[in-house]
């Protein structure tokens, strides 16, 4: 089967095909989140039967080494035995109470102790809720309406943040969503990532009107784009000078690029921090936190309203606490760094050997391989990548049992469950894939 970019796409197994047809009759596009539809690489998704450690299995019995890891949360790999034991124990005690438990304070304390910027933290159910609430709080605290974000940064599907919003939007070619009122978009200014001068200019032109600057301190939603040296520091300076709140969306990077997040890794302390993904251990959890005086504006003690029926859910808290506890053990991030570096270097060497132009990026265990020769530093340069080549590479790996993100503009994730053997096997498979791309000719 060929897709419309001329890429050879292997047929899915019968069961995956049947289940996708079934799903499409009840669910828009057959999926509950757009990127899962594989439209970024021109094919169909596999349906999952089970997953453990570094491996995910589809309903047709095919096994993949998985570098999607549920799009970031599963830093310990699938179904980590200690996390699963906590979850099983908790389900025996009840799954939701709508009343406080000690577990909520335990996870909150772990977050406060890990992240330099966080003194108080509120649990929510998703990264989207976290960024939405943080923006509301920043506006409530400053009494200002305008927010600055960056092209290609994704902060969940919040109305006023769905502007130049990366991955899903990039892949689908719809940077803005219908249904977002123009009035909302008017209060959002989106600038090129890594461009401090652009920020400085806009801030001067809107003096006293900007509530916050929100960004991914390492962008993971246009592929991985690290902050240039001085970018985060420069934003901190501008925010201090102009009384603007600096908001780090660490939904991916929190407990991913290090136990102390991107703020610990780069030594720049924001005013507010958004979390999600890893802190839920695979369950729906988000959180936002920051300076005490700002967080004290949140209801019930403050006048910024925010609530959630299932927020602080006991099963999710238990999974999150155990995940962070395991991550806090000696040498965990060193091992992740080593495995990720071996993978990154191996893939790059294989590409070079076959004369395939790539621009690899990596921060800790989040990695990308852009099919381009130019340095990727922002949305515009990321978009210059050859997505048809990425699709060829993706399908060659998929056939051989390696699951990469089905889009050039998503981050790959290494977990603690990825063994040296998994990494070696992946590099060998990629080496053959690059070889076939060259011998196959064309783009």
Ligand X SMILES: *Cc1c(COP(=O)(O)O)cnc(C)c1O
CB 10 to ligand X: min, Å: 28
Q: Where are the beta strands (DSSP E) in 170-320?
A: 188-191, 210-215, 245-249, 272-275, 286-290
Under rule CB under 6 A, residue 155 binds ligand X: yes
CB 357 to ligand X: min, Å: 27
What is the arrangement of strands in the sheet containing 402-403, beginning at the earlier edge strand? 48-52, 55-58, 63-66, 402-403
Pattern 241-260, ligand X, x by CB under 6 A = --------x-xx--------
Q: Of 283-302, which residues contact ligand X (CB under 6 A)?
A: 286
Under rule CB under 6 A, residue 73 binds ligand X: no
Q: How far from 435 is each of 357, 392, 396, 431, CA to CA, in Å?
A: 13, 12, 10, 6
CB 161 to ligand X: min, Å: 9
Residue 316 or residue 402: which is nearer to ligand X going by CB?
Answer: 316
Closest CA to 394 of 403, 385, 382, 384: 403
154 is catalytic: yes
Instruction: Give how many residues touch ligand X by CB under 6 A.
Output: 15
Q: Where are the beta strands (DSSP E) in 250-395?
A: 272-275, 286-290, 359-363, 366-370
Residue nearest to ligand X (CB): 127
Q: Are 379 and 192 in contact (CB under 8 A)?
A: yes
Record the tokens describing residue 167, joined without a space: 């991955």
Residue 199 host element (H or E): helix 196-205
Measured CA to CA, the distance from residue 230 to residue 242 in angstroms comes to: 18
Q: Of 110-139, which residues contact ligand X (CB under 6 A)?
A: 126-128, 131
Residue 16 or residue 167: which is nearer to ligand X going by CB?
Answer: 167
| Residue from 221, 361, 368, 372 in contact with ligand X (CB under 6 A) | 221
Under rule CB under 6 A, residue 220 binds ligand X: yes
Under rule CB under 6 A, residue 154 binds ligand X: yes
249 is catalytic: yes
277 is catalytic: yes
Measured CA to CA, the distance from residue 381 to residue 399 in angstroms comes to: 29
CB 33 to ligand X: min, Å: 7
Residues assigned a catalytic role: 154, 249, 277
Contact residues: ligand X, CB under 6 A: 126-128, 131, 154-156, 216, 220-221, 249, 251-252, 276, 286
């Amino acid at each position: 089967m060929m897709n419309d970019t001329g890429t050879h796409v292997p047929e899915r197994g019968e069961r995956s095909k049947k289940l996708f047809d079934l799903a499409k009759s009840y669910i828009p596009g057959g999926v509950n989140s757009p990127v899962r539809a594989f439209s970024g690489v021109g094919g169909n998704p596999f349906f999952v039967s089970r997953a453990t450690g570094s491996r995910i299995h589809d309903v047709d019995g095919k096994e993949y080494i998985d570098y999607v890891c549920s799009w970031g949360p599963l830093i310990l790999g699938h179904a980590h035995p200690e996390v699963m034991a906590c979850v099983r124990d908790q389900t025996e005690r009840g799954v939701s109470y709508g009343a406080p438990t000690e577990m909520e304070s335990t996870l909150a304390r772990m977050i406060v102790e890990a992240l330099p910027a966080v003194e108080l933290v509120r649990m929510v159910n998703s990264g989207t809720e976290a960024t939405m609430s943080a923006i509301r709080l920043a506006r409530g605290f400053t009494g200002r309406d305008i927010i600055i974000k960056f092209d290609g940064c994704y902060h969940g599907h919040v109305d006023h943040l769905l502007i130049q919003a990366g991955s899903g939007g990039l892949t689908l070619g719809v940077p803005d969503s219908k249904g977002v009122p123009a009035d909302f978009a008017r209060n959002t200014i989106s600038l090129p990532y890594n461009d401090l001068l652009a920020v400085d200019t806009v801030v001067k032109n809107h003096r006293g009107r900007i509530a916050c600057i929100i960004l991914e301190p390492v962008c993971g939603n246009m592929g991985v784009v690290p902050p240039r040296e001085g970018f985060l520091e420069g934003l901190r300076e501008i925010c201090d000078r102009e009384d603007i709140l600096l908001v780090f969306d660490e939904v991916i990077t929190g407990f991913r690029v290090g136990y102390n997040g991107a703020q610990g890794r780069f030594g720049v302390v924001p005013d507010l921090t958004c979390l999600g993904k890893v802190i839920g251990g695979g369950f729906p959890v988000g959180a936002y936190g920051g300076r005490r005086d700002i967080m004290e504006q949140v209801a019930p003690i403050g006048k910024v309203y925010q609530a959630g029926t299932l927020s602080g859910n006991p099963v999710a808290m238990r999974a999150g606490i155990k995940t962070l506890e395991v991550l806090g053990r000696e040498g965990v991030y060193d091992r992740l760094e080593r495995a990720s570096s071996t993978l990154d270097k191996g893939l790059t060497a294989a590409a070079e050997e076959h004369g395939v132009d790539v621009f690899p990026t990596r921060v800790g265990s989040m990695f990308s391989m852009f099919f381009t020769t130019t340095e990727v530093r922002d949305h515009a340069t990321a978009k210059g990548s050859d997505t048809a080549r990425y699709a060829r590479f993706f399908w060659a790996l998929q056939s051989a049992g390696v699951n990469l993100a089905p889009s050039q503009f998503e981050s790959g994730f290494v977990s603690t469950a990825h063994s040296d053997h998994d990494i070696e096997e992946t590099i060998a498979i990629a080496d053959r894939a690059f070889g076939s791309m060259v011998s196959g000719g064309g783009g």
